[in-house]
Amino acid sequence: MKRVEGKVALVTGGAGGLGAASARMLAREGARVVVTDRREAEARAVAESLGEAGLFVQLDVTQEDQWVHALARTVEKFGRLDVLVNNAGMGIVKDVEEMTLDEWKLVHSVNLDGVFLGCKHGIRAMKQCGAQGSIINISSIAGIVGVGQFPAYSSSKGGVRLLSKSVALHCAAKGYGIRCNSIHPGYVETAMVEALSQASGQAEKTRARMLKGIPMGRFGEPDDVANAVVYLASDESKLMTGAEMILDGGATAQ
């Protein structure tokens, strides 16, 4: 039997990178997957690649009414929600002196407010369906240790880590049977890491510096994170809640 056979998952930020990899891996392991993103063409293509197991719903995670619609559409199409992957995120490469208040608020609205709204409405959808659910929040090692060029990103991702613990404790106290955990990737070969490299003006030197800080000597791949998502979505992790999984090749162990 496949690891998440019969489960229904919703993935935010599913147009590419970690979200697309997670959607494909979940479907490969037997789930039906709702792929959401603001970018319609790319996310719809991911959903269509999953065949009958995929559905695209456009979603701006900062808009509460769109969350209500996306989850209603999920239940209408597939009858339930078992897994929520809050993956959508963004970063702005400016230090604390350069960043404007509007930029600070924008990053937090996507990275933290979006996760809050997903947890709030995802719990409701899971409860209504009687699901023993799993909420998986994609944070970052920037939520474990600070990054000087990323004050808003670090702050928001640290918030995701503690929000996940709060949600986990709330659900456990209420006896909902809903788990919540966070995943903290290090440098993964995605568009965001490429943008960080390019923003430095010395892309190759920046990548070499990043690589030097990883004891295992390699960048992560999207499927490394997707494998962790499948584990947390599956019953294999049924005792795991309020925890963080750090996938960084040993970077934060130093």
pLDDT tens digits, 128-180? 998 799 999 999 999 999 888 899 999 999 999 999 999 999 999 999 999 99
Taking 80 as the threshold, does the pLDDT of residue 213 lie above it?
yes
In this prediction, residues 174-196 reach a mean pLDDT of: 90
Sort 102 into a burial class: Cβ within 10 Å, 0-12 / 13-18 / 19+. exposed
* Catalytic annotation, residues: 153
Q: Can you give the pTM of this predicted structure?
A: 0.96
Q: How confident is the model at residue 222 (pLDDT cuts 50, 70, 90)?
A: very high
What does the alpha-carbon distance between residue 139 and residue 245 come to, in Å, rounded to a whole number? 10
Q: Could you read off the pLDDT of 4-14 as tens digits, one per residue?
A: 999 999 999 99
218: tokens are 């390699």
Band (203; pLDDT cuts 50, 70, 90): confident
For the ranges 47-56, 185-194, 235-244, which has the lowest average pLDDT?
A: 185-194
- Note whether 157 and 143 are within 8 A (CB): yes
Of 14, 35, 5, nearest to 222 by C-alpha is 14
Per-residue pLDDT at 201 exceeds 80: no
* pLDDT for the residue 200: 67
What pairs with residue 247 in β-bridges?
185
Protein fold of 8-189+221-248: Rossmann fold (3.40.50)
Average pLDDT over residues 17-26: 98
State mean pLDDT over 97-122: 99
Answer yes or no: is pLDDT of 198 > 80. no
Please give the mean pLDDT across all residues of the chain.
96
Q: Where are the domains of the chain?
A: 8-189+221-248
**If you average pLDDT over residues 238-242, what whole number do you get?**
99
Report, as an integer, the average pLDDT of 63-92.
Answer: 98
Contact 46, 253 (CB under 8 A): no
pLDDT band, very low/low/confident/very high, at 27 (cuts 50, 70, 90):
very high
- Of 101, 138, 131, 176, give the one whose Cα is nearest residue 21: 138
For residue 90, give the amino acid letter. M
Q: How confident is the model at residue 208 (pLDDT cuts 50, 70, 90)?
A: confident
Share of the chain above pLDDT 90, in %: 87
Q: Over the stretch 83-109, which tens digit does the pLDDT of each residue have?
A: 999 999 999 989 999 999 999 999 999
Strand locations in 128-168, DSSP E? 134-138
Which segment of 21-35, 42-56, 172-186, 188-202 scores lowest on mean pLDDT?
A: 188-202
